[in-house]
Amino acid sequence: MGDKTKSRGFVRRVALDRGLNKVKEMVLELSGIAKEAVRLSIEALKEKSREKIEKVYELEKRSDVLNMDIEDECLTLAALQQPVARDLRFIASMMRISNNYERICDLAQKIAYIAEKTIDKPLLKPLIDVPRMGKLVIEMLEINEESIRTGDTSMLEMELKARDDEIDLLYSQTYNELVGYMVRIPHRIDDAIDLLFVAKHLERMGDLVAKSAARLVYIEEGRRVWIK
């Protein structure tokens, strides 16, 4: 009896572990796509590069497909392997994280739209805070990636909160600055609003990565946290 149980457990884990690992790799790939989309969308805005705009659109499409594949993989595992405990938390949370990352690609695409719309106009102002926000989002995604790889979430809350706070600060700074532009240069108010949207999208991305980090803490520790 003991041996039979053991071998049954073993078989079950082989299939489940393979599936969990696959989901992990797919989410890491999606994270890579999201980072690339964020980086390119801001460069496209700054450099007025049609090529980079197109690249962002392409990445966004890939993120949609990948997100769907991740969901399929997770649902298959849930249906066939009856995951519980960490396995269950992992599957449910990875579906959410994948959704969040796909949303980040959507937001990068919105930034690319703005870049496309304003491609023939000079920049309202040199872009400094916006690329800084983008860089922070990418850093946050990388910190999450490291946690996904190692399962270590001990520093996650602290590291992400610091960066998310900085993004929020940069956002309100940008907001105030752009309101100033709107007052002083009313004929370019539409450009100021576009730029404000860019900043808002980036701030939203920060939230999404922070929410994803909270999910990672739940996976590893079973603890519900709010990183905000």
Partner 1 sequence: MKIEVKELSAWYGSHQVLRSVSMGVRENMITAIIGPSGCGKTTLLRCLNRMHELVDGARVEGEVLLDGENIYDPSVDPVEVRRRIGMVFQKPNPFPHMSIFDNVAIGLKLAGVRDKRKLREVVEDCLKKAALWDEVKDKLDQPGGRLSGGQQQRLCIARALATSPEVLLFDEPTSALDPISAMRIENLMLSLKREYTIVIVTHNIQQAARVSDYTAFLYRGVLVEYGETAVMFKTPRHKLTEEYLTGRFG
Segment 54-113, which members bind partner 1 (CB under 8 A)?
A: 82-89
Q: Spell out, one character per residue from 194 to 223, where the chain touches partner 1: x when CB under 8 A holds, - when not.
A: ----------------------------x-
Pick between residue 83 and residue 206 the one whose CB is nearest to partner 1: 83
Give the SS3 label for residue 118: coil
Pick between residue 14 and residue 128 the one whose CB is nearest to partner 1: 14
Pick between residue 82 and residue 172 the one whose CB is nearest to partner 1: 82
Amino acid 127 reads: L
Nearest-approach distance from CB 11 to partner 1, in angstroms = 9
Nearest-approach distance from CB 85 to partner 1, in angstroms = 5
Pick between residue 2 and residue 186 the one whose CB is nearest to partner 1: 2
Alpha-carbon gap, residue 27 to 120, rounded angstroms: 36
The residue to which tokens 């992990």 are assigned: 24
Alpha-carbon distances, residue 186 vs 32, 77, 152, 176, 183 (angstroms): 39, 56, 50, 15, 6
Q: How many residues bind partner 1 (CB under 8 A)?
A: 19
- For residues 197 and 127, is the Cβ–Cβ distance under 8 A? no
Alpha-carbon distances, residue 165 vs 129, 132, 168, 175 (angstroms): 14, 13, 5, 15
Nearest-approach distance from CB 218 to partner 1, in angstroms = 9
Tally of CB atoms within 10 A around 149: 10
Nearest-approach distance from CB 24 to partner 1, in angstroms = 16
Nearest-approach distance from CB 43 to partner 1, in angstroms = 42
Nearest-approach distance from CB 190 to partner 1, in angstroms = 50
Structure-derived torsion over alpha carbons of residues 120, 57, 133, 114, reported in degrees to the nearest 10? 30
Nearest-approach distance from CB 15 to partner 1, in angstroms = 10
- The contacts found for 82-89 with CB under 8 angstroms, 24 or more apart, are 83/16, 86/219, 86/220, 86/222, 87/16, 87/20, 89/218, 89/219, 89/222
Pick between residue 180 and residue 222 the one whose CB is nearest to partner 1: 222
Q: Spell out, one character per residue from 1 to 20, where the chain touches partner 1: x when CB under 8 A holds, - when not.
A: xx--xx-xxx-xx--x----
Round to the nearest angstrom and report the end-to-end CA distance of the chain: 51
Pick between residue 89 and residue 110 the one whose CB is nearest to partner 1: 89
Pick between residue 84 and residue 184 the one whose CB is nearest to partner 1: 84
For partner 1, the binding residues (CB under 8 A) are: 1-2, 5-6, 8-10, 12-13, 16, 82-89, 222
